[in-house]
Amino acid sequence: MEALFFNIDNGFLEGIVRGYKSGILTQNQYANLTQCETLEDFRTQLSATDYGGFLANESLPLSTSTIQEKATQILVDQFNYLRGNAVEPLNKFLEYITYSYMIDNIILLITGTLHERDTHELLERCHPLGVFESMPALCVATTVEELYQSVLVETPLAPYFRDCLSANDLDDLNIEIIRNTVYKAYLEDFHSFCGTLGQPTQDVMQRTLAFEADRRTINITVNSFNTELSKEQRAKLFPTIGRLWPEGNNQLAKADDIDQVRAACETVSEYRTFFNDAGVSSSSAHGNGGIDDLAAASMLEDRFFRMEVFLNKQAFLQQFQYGVFFSYVKLKEQEIRNLTWIAECIAQDAKDRIQDFIPIF
Amino acid sequence: MSDDYPSLLRSERMSLVQLFVPTEVAHDTVHELGELGDVQFKDLNPSVNPFQRSFVGEIRRIDDMSRRTRFFDAQIEKEKDVVPVRPLYECAPLLTVGPRSAQTVDELDTTLSQYESKLTTLNESYQTLSERTRELTEARHVLRETAVFFDKAHTQTSNIRSSFDDSATPLLTSHDDREGGYSAGSFDLEFVAGTIERSRVPTFERVLWRVLRGNLYMNHTDIAEPFIDPSTNAETRKNVFIIFAHGDVVLAKIRKVAESMGATIFPIDANADKRADALREVENRLEDLQTVLYNTGIGRRAELVKIGESLRVWQDVVKKEKLIYETLNLFNYDVRRKTLIAEAWVPTRDLTKIQLALRHATEESGTSVPPILHELQTSKTPPTFHRTNKFTEGFQAIMDSYGISAYQEINPGLFAITTFPFLFAVMFGDIGHGFIILIAAVYMILREKAMAKQDNGEIIGQFFYGRYIILMMGLFSIYTGFLYNDLFSKTLHLFHSGWTFPDNSTRGVYTGHTYPFGLDPAWHGATNALVFTNSYKMKMSIVLGVIHMTFALCLQVPNHFRFKRKSDIYTNFIPQMLFLQSIFGYLVLCILYKWSVDWTKSPVSPPSLLNMLITMFLEPGKVDPEKQLYPGQGFVQTVLLGIAGVCVPWLLISKPYLAWREMHKTTGAGYVTLGNGEETAIARHSTDETLEGEEEGNGRAIAEGDEEHEGHDFGDVVIHQIIHTIEFCLGCISHTASYLRLWALSLAHAQLSEVLWSMTLDGRTDPKSIGGWIGLGIMGFMWLNLTIGILCLMEGLSAFLHALRLHWVEGNSKHFEGGGYPFAPLSFAGEGSKEA
């Protein structure tokens, strides 16, 4: 039935987003980009793609940040176009996508204020998708309570923050805890919202979100080794969705090293491969565990990104659902990360690592 | 030879030439060829990345130059008072060829960058100045508004004091007033004043309210005039705000919130005198600044005017240079990197012209080494190039938008020049309407030069492009209008009618005199007029359609001769022709015969031709004597049906059989297929010896590199022929029926114009009173507008589209092969008009 009526409200936008998707850079174009000698070559090469002349009016010494900024601007424009044309419930769905950027922005501002950075510089670094009206006022707050009362209470994020009001002063650890608590609340809320949208959106989105939740769970676990974070606190930060929940989460909450994490993830076949090499390297050089865990974590991160790209690509195989909107934003974001990486490698003349991006199509 | 003069019948004969251009003259050569616009260069390095080609550096430099010109363009456009930009044709040309060409470009580059830096500094200082002006203006507003506020507070002091303890006063107002009272009394309440963007005011207020838990008094007023950012021209509207609060911490918080929300805070003194002083000072400084700002603006404008004088030339040069280097990137270097090697398609007829251009380029550049040009032998298909003029251009474009005809194929665009306007006119036949569009076309043609120069916009531009088509359509419409005897749904009495109506009877009596040309006006208004014109136009449509299709079918023959497929004449052309003629050709003959018989004197009633055609298929050989058109009809029809029936298997089998026999012969003689190997060998032998030597480098490798392998698979031939047969046989029937649209549209047009006349002007043409005259005026105006808008434009477009379809589908399917690719020569001419 959903196929019968989907196009009345969303057919146009789905068409648009699928059109946008076909503009995502392909393997071939990446191969051309990685051959560039300078950023000007890079620009010439990009002008042959869907990006077109987006850098044509920049004066010559190009910087990586300009490229990133302009590419993000394209994504933001596209997203705003989609949002401007959307009706309920797609509108709400798109709004949910922005929440994650809002959380990131809030955390960025709080951290920045804590370290006494310049407010305007911080505001410039915020992701444009997550900007909200009263955001600049965040710089004033000094405690979580104040933060909530003065600014966040009127944002849609307010319910997510309600759980972490107990943390009294803002320090780095607390901010990290806030971020994860809020994100957990966000993911759970988004998950249940997708549940109300019916099949097949529910199906596609919950698969993607479950992975996102598991990724966070594993990341929190890996990053909390050798820190002050107690195991009970850690357990509280785990989202209560995802394929690892509940028994995997329980095991992860008790884990002490990366091997136990792997054991916890054994139950899910897709995640099993993530730890293959990582496990080997950590057991072979157990002496300097700290550094090795770091390497393993970064490799893990890379695989998570690959998995994310894979899942998001799969979302496009299913028609008449909202997952494509979410996936497009995520894929485009990954593409911008890739472009920035390649541009950075070109700028710093680090050709040996230029291949370390994550190809999409 | 038909090739002596350029003709539209077939596309131009093309040659593949190889050019050896010494590096020194390469630039000038390409420039010269670009001006000539007659050479299509081939990409000799398709595998090389765009940024790895030889002239990337130059292109990049030119890109930068074009960025600068774009910057100037944007700056000039943004300037509020229009800066005059001298059009290209009034400027002195900047020479970029010859021995000093490199220097000219260098100079241009430096000029451009000089202007850019000058303009940027001017812009910057203008920006900082206007920034400061803005700040001062804001400060002035804040001072004025706060003064107003304080004054008001003073006058209110007394009555506020009295209501201090009045519990009946609403809580909020008393709260507000109390603070106002304090401030007015002793100014011991501190405050923050400044400006903020209007859209942010509500958020600002809300956040402050929450941060300070309501312990503040805030007042704000709108600033009437908007602030304009000089660099982006964006308008921002701002508000003045003043916030009273108590305590340093609170004030610091207010300041912080205000700053983070993008507000500007001004230090304002609570003392009225000091405020007045400050205001005076601000106003003085503002005045000074405005003078400076004005002068800077004048300076900047002068600079822009100077740029505007030669901007178009620069843009032109930059565009040409970019095109030149992009073309040079298609070239190959020889081994010693002394000469560039290019391959290009040129019309064979123009070879001498190109030789001359090359020599001219050498002379211009002042060197003695001329570029060398020679023809290559190739089996590749050349591009299709129809040499058009401004008259034929439009017709050719109509046909090209259906498909580019194959190289040297018979070009349907030539015949479209007459058939297209004619078929259009059959549907649009009306002297008056034809005259209107003729006038429009003549107007556009007379103003051709002026209109070509200006930008006509998309819609007018389209009509202008097709002005000669419209001209022809108008002329033909007038002609068919005379045939239909139709002038705005009225008739002309040019000759004596062949009918009289004695004693006001409705029955006409034939006078024995035939109306010499067109439709007898007596039919107009007759009760059976519609029956008559319908029957006439319907039959006419079939006759015209069959003639058009027969003609299109005949166009196959020269193609078969040209492409040396003589067998196709008796495997394709003859059976198709027989099939078409034995059914529909016969129908046409019957129509003509039926027209020629005077049925009033015949003993039998006129038979229905439609039923005749149907029974010809259903009951071959049997003809009801009541419905017989002529004696012996049954036998003739059986024979014709037999011919048509034989044609189908003939068409289906003969071509595959020939292909099979051919294949059998070659394999039987012991040969194995080796692609096109044989042909290339012959081609190579025929090239002369010297060329053979030269080709050793890059030329030959490429010329042989991607031969077009058309594996003549037997299966392909069979399937293709089956499809072709079915398509043709069914097509004959549906296409003939399709020509009935001529009748339908013509009928609709005539009826529409009649309805329009009867609803507006009918009965009003002879006004008796002033009211009648006014009515005539209003209705006449309406009639004219609707005639032009609906009958000429809308009906015209619809008739145009149907004529288009009849050519593309019904006509082209009989002979058109297509699949060619258009000749796209390097040319500066097209580039210039596109963007300017």
d(CA B170, CA B748): 77
Query: Angle, to 10 degrees, between the axis of helix B586-596 and the axis of helix B633-668?
Result: 160
B227/A contact by beta carbon, under 8 A: no
pLDDT value at B99 more than 70: no
**Chain B environment of A154 (Cβ under 8 Å):** 206
Residue B427 confidence class, pLDDT cut points 50, 70, 90: very high
Residue B417, SS3?
A: helix
Residue B697 confidence class, pLDDT cut points 50, 70, 90: very low
Residue B145 DSSP label: H
Share of chain B above pLDDT 70, in %: 88
Contact A140 B211 (CB under 8 A): yes
The H or E element spanning position B144 is helix B101-162
d(CA B385, CA B603): 61
The H or E element spanning position B222 is strand B217-222
Selection from A192, A184, A211 nearest residue A315 by Cα: A211
Of A35, A40, A123, the CB nearest to B49: A35
B309/A contact by beta carbon, under 8 A: no
For A327-344, letters b (16+ CB in 10 Å) and e give: bbbbbbbbbbebbbbbbb
Place of tokens 């054991």: A263
Contact A60 B259 (CB under 8 A): no
Higher-pLDDT residue of B536, B699: B536
Strand partners, B222: B239
What is the model's pLDDT at position B36?
A: 84
Span B725-756, pLDDT tens digits: 999 999 999 999 999 999 999 999 999 999 99
Cα–Cα distances in angstroms (integers) from residue B213 to residues B176, B208, B217, B795, in the given order: 14, 8, 11, 72
B790/A contact by beta carbon, under 8 A: no
What is the model's pLDDT at position A294?
A: 65
Of A40, A137, A154, the CB nearest to B60: A40
Q: DSSP for B578-619?
A: HHHIIIIIHHHHHHHHHHHS-TTSSSSPPPPHHHHHHHHHHS
Instruction: Name the minimum distance, in Å, from the CA of A153 to any CA of chain B.
Output: 10
Contact A140 B253 (CB under 8 A): yes
B70/A contact by beta carbon, under 8 A: yes
Selection from A29, A97, A103, A41 nearest residue A67 by Cα: A41
Residue B500, SS3?
A: strand
Residue B787 confidence class, pLDDT cut points 50, 70, 90: very high
Strand partners, A24: none
Q: Kindly report the CA angle at B186 between B183 and B191, in degrees rounded to 5?
A: 40
B48/A contact by beta carbon, under 8 A: no
Least confident of A286-300, A330-344, B35-49: A286-300
Least confident of B169-183, B212-226, B398-412: B169-183
Of A35, A137, A154, the CB nearest to B261: A137
What tokens were used for B260?
């983070």
**Chain B environment of A119 (Cβ under 8 Å):** 259-260
Mean pLDDT (chain B) is: 82
| B375 contacts B699 by C-beta, under 8 angstroms | no
Higher-pLDDT residue of B71, B540: B540
Instruction: Name the minimum distance, in Å, from the CA of B237 to any CA of chain A.
Output: 17
d(CA B696, CA A338): 45
Span B150-204, pLDDT tens digits: 777 777 654 544 444 444 444 444 444 444 444 444 445 678 888 888 888 888 8
**Chain A environment of B200 (Cβ under 8 Å):** 133
Share of chain B above pLDDT 90, in %: 22
Query: Angle, to 10 degrees, between the axis of helix B272-328 and the axis of helix B23-36?
Result: 100
What is the model's pLDDT at position B216?
A: 79
Selection from B556, B546, B519, B536 nearest residue B431 by Cα: B519
Phi, then psi, of B344 in degrees rounded to 5? -150, 150
pLDDT value at A272 more than 90: no
What is the model's pLDDT at position B678?
A: 46
What is the model's pLDDT at position B278?
A: 84
pLDDT value at B684 more than 70: no
What is the model's pLDDT at position B212?
A: 78
B338/A contact by beta carbon, under 8 A: no
**Chain A environment of B78 (Cβ under 8 Å):** none
Q: DSSP for B94-142?
A: PP--STTHHHHHHHHHHHHHHHHHHHHHHHHHHHHHHHHHHHHHHHHHH
Of B67, B260, B262, the CB nearest to A57: B67
Whether omega before A89 lies within 30 degrees of 0, making that bond cis, reads yes
Q: DSSP for B624-667?
A: -GGG-SSTTHHHHHHHHHHHHHHHHHHHHHHHHHHHHHHHHHHH
**Chain A environment of B71 (Cβ under 8 Å):** 57
What is the model's pLDDT at position B98?
A: 67
pLDDT value at B644 more than 60: yes
Q: Does the complex come out with an ipTM higher than 0.85? A: no
B49/A contact by beta carbon, under 8 A: yes
Span B587-616, pLDDT tens digits: 999 999 999 988 888 777 888 888 888 888
d(CA B687, CA B692): 7
Residue B671 confidence class, pLDDT cut points 50, 70, 90: low
Of B200, B207, B262, the CB nearest to A150: B207
**Chain B environment of A136 (Cβ under 8 Å):** 257, 260-262
How deeply is A167 buried, as exposed, middle or buried, from its count of CB atoms within 10 A (0-12, 13-18, 19+)?
middle
Cα maximum dimension of chain B: 127
Residue B701 confidence class, pLDDT cut points 50, 70, 90: very low
pLDDT value at B365 more than 80: no
With CA atoms as reference, the chain B residue closest to A61 would be B64
The residue-averaged pLDDT of B647-663 equals: 89
pLDDT value at B575 more than 90: yes
How deeply is B309 buried, as exposed, middle or buried, from its count of CB atoms within 10 A (0-12, 13-18, 19+)?
middle
Span B537-556, pLDDT tens digits: 999 999 999 999 999 999 99
**Chain B environment of A60 (Cβ under 8 Å):** 64
d(CA B631, CA B624): 11
The residue-averaged pLDDT of B691-698 equals: 40
Span B289-309, pLDDT tens digits: 888 888 888 888 888 888 888
Strand partners, B674: B676
Residue A107 confidence class, pLDDT cut points 50, 70, 90: confident
Selection from B835, B101, B81, B715 nearest residue B455 by Cα: B835
Instruction: Name the minimum distance, in Å, from the CA of A356 to any CA of chain B.
Output: 22
Which residues, in sequence order, are CB contacts of B708 under 8 Å at separation 6+? B379, B380, B381, B676
How deeply is A359 buried, as exposed, middle or buried, from its count of CB atoms within 10 A (0-12, 13-18, 19+)?
middle
Of A134, A140, A149, the CB nearest to B256: A140
Cα–Cα distances in angstroms (integers) from residue A255 to residues A149, A231, A258, B146, B597, in the given order: 37, 9, 8, 64, 107
**Chain B environment of A109 (Cβ under 8 Å):** none
d(CA B5, CA A226): 90
Residue A293 confidence class, pLDDT cut points 50, 70, 90: low
Instruction: Name the minimum distance, in Å, from the CA of A136 to any CA of chain B.
Output: 5
For B809-829, letters b (16+ CB in 10 Å) and e give: ebbbebbbeeebeebebbbbe
Residue B712 confidence class, pLDDT cut points 50, 70, 90: low
Contact A150 B210 (CB under 8 A): yes
pLDDT value at B675 more than 80: no
pTM above 0.90, yes or no: no
Cα maximum dimension of chain A: 62
pLDDT value at B783 more than 80: yes
Chain centre to alpha carbon of residue A263? 26
User: In what order do the strands lie in the sheet containing B238-245?
Assistant: B217-222, B238-245, B190-197, B264-266
Instruction: Name the minimum distance, in Å, from the CA of A19 to any CA of chain B.
Output: 26
Residues of A with CB under 8 A from a CB of B: 32, 35-37, 40-41, 44-45, 48, 56-57, 59-60, 119, 123, 133-134, 136-140, 146, 149-151, 153-154
What is the model's pLDDT at position A277?
A: 60
Extended beta strands in A7-152, E state: none
Contact B260 A150 (CB under 8 A): no
Residue B688 confidence class, pLDDT cut points 50, 70, 90: very low
| A266 contacts A251 by C-beta, under 8 angstroms | no
Cα four-point dihedral sign B621, B627, B631, B633: negative
Of A41, A56, A123, the CB nearest to B51: A41
What tokens were used for B767?
């006004």
Residue B830 confidence class, pLDDT cut points 50, 70, 90: low
What is the model's pLDDT at position A228?
A: 78
**Chain A environment of B259 (Cβ under 8 Å):** 119
With CA atoms as reference, the chain B residue closest to A132 would be B203
What is the model's pLDDT at position A84?
A: 92
CB pairs under 8 A between A and B: 58
SS3 string of B456-468? CHHHHHHHHHCHH
Phi, then psi, of B434 in degrees rounded to 5? -60, -40
Span B443-496, pLDDT tens digits: 999 998 888 887 778 888 889 999 999 999 999 999 999 999 889 888 888 888
Span B238-251, pLDDT tens digits: 888 888 887 788 88
What is the model's pLDDT at position B474?
A: 94
Phi, then psi, of B55 in degrees rounded to 5? -110, 30
Q: How many CB atoms lie within 10 A of CB A153?
A: 15
Phi, then psi, of B164 in degrees rounded to 5? -55, -45
